[in-house]
Amino acid sequence: MDLGLKDKVALVAASSKGLGKATALSLAGEGCRVTMCARGTDVLAEAAEEVRQATGAKVLEVVCDVTDGAAITAAFEKTEQELGNVDVLVVNAGGPKAGAFDDLTDDDWMEAYQLTHLSAVRMIRRALPHMRAAKWGRIVAIESSSVKQPVMNLHLSNGIRAGLVGYFKSISDELAKDNITINTVLPGLYLTDRILDNQKAIAERTGEALADRLEMIKNNIPMGRFGEPRELADMISFLASERGSYVTGAVIQVDGGTTRGNF
């Protein structure tokens, strides 16, 4: 299947590692020119070079903290100057910190809102003028299976991401007439730095061996294995493509069957 992504411009937020990086690689492999963003300069430069080498695509790296509105604006401006207007926006960020009710302060909630929710609003607002003028646009947000099935001890993610999906669904109505789609993907368990760090912290707290913990988690996934970041990334490329033209306002888990629910 030709996804029809050749020569589109994609901006993938939070993409020096993990799911964002795999998404940049997948879109570049489909012929997009890609902007990759993150806060840490060196890891980002290495990741961008890796994507260039693997795909031969034009890849721009921009240091950008998505909690900073001015940095988001600057990332779009740099992309427009170097690659062209953004046709495909992948909303992503580092996840909010772990914690249950008693662990979390007002400041934690405000920070998580800024990182997870407000960053998405700002990126989408900046992407829309070109997409509306072009009558073509694709927005895909990487959230979490916590939207459909709350995860223990992740109250910030559980609380904020479900609300964000309500926002995406609301604007999907307004964007559809201009041929702009917006969809959400929900990763289950992929062994990226974020998941490993979370699990190491839990293992240290409980005294379990990390390997035993990971084995127990893996055995609870119906497919019996963690996801490969490429498996989420390829779903995103489909949703971002010409072939995904009639899918909008959807919330799609990519989790090896982990989410236990009908919808």
Q: Which residues bind ligand NAP (CB under 6 A)?
A: 14-20, 37-40, 43, 64-67, 92-95, 115, 142, 144-145, 187, 189-190, 192-195
Q: Which is nearer to ligand NAP, 83 or 98 (CB)?
A: 98
Q: Which is nearer to ligand NAP, 98 or 175 (CB)?
A: 98
* Tokens representing residue 217 in the block: 């988690």
Q: Is 3 helix (H, G, I), strand (E, B) or coil?
A: coil
How many CB atoms lie under 10 A from the CB of residue 233? 25
Q: Which is nearer to ligand NAP, 189 or 236 (CB)?
A: 189
Using DSSP bridges, classify how beta strands 88-91 and 137-142 pair: parallel, antiparallel or unpaired.
parallel
- Smallest separation, CB 186 to ligand NAP (Å): 7
Q: Which is nearer to ligand NAP, 97 or 132 (CB)?
A: 97
Q: Which is nearer to ligand NAP, 193 or 242 (CB)?
A: 193
Q: What is the DSSP string of 91-125?
A: E--PPPPPB-GGG--HHHHHHHIIIIIIHHHHHHH
- Smallest separation, CB 2 to ligand NAP (Å): 28
Q: Which is nearer to ligand NAP, 83 or 254 (CB)?
A: 254
Distance CA 93, CA 235 (A): 18
User: 94: closest CA among 21, 150, 169, 24?
Assistant: 21
Using DSSP bridges, classify how beta strands 180-187 and 59-63 pair: parallel, antiparallel or unpaired.
unpaired
* Full strand arrangement of the beta sheet holding 88-91: 59-63, 33-38, 9-12, 88-91, 137-142, 180-187, 251-254
- Smallest separation, CB 93 to ligand NAP (Å): 5
- Smallest separation, CB 66 to ligand NAP (Å): 4
- Smallest separation, CB 69 to ligand NAP (Å): 12
H helix runs in 142-256, sequence order: 155-176, 193-206, 210-219, 229-239
Q: Please report, in angstroms and rounded to a whole number, the separation of the first and last CA atoms in the chain.
A: 28
- Smallest separation, CB 246 to ligand NAP (Å): 26
Q: Which is nearer to ligand NAP, 132 or 251 (CB)?
A: 251
- Smallest separation, CB 72 to ligand NAP (Å): 9
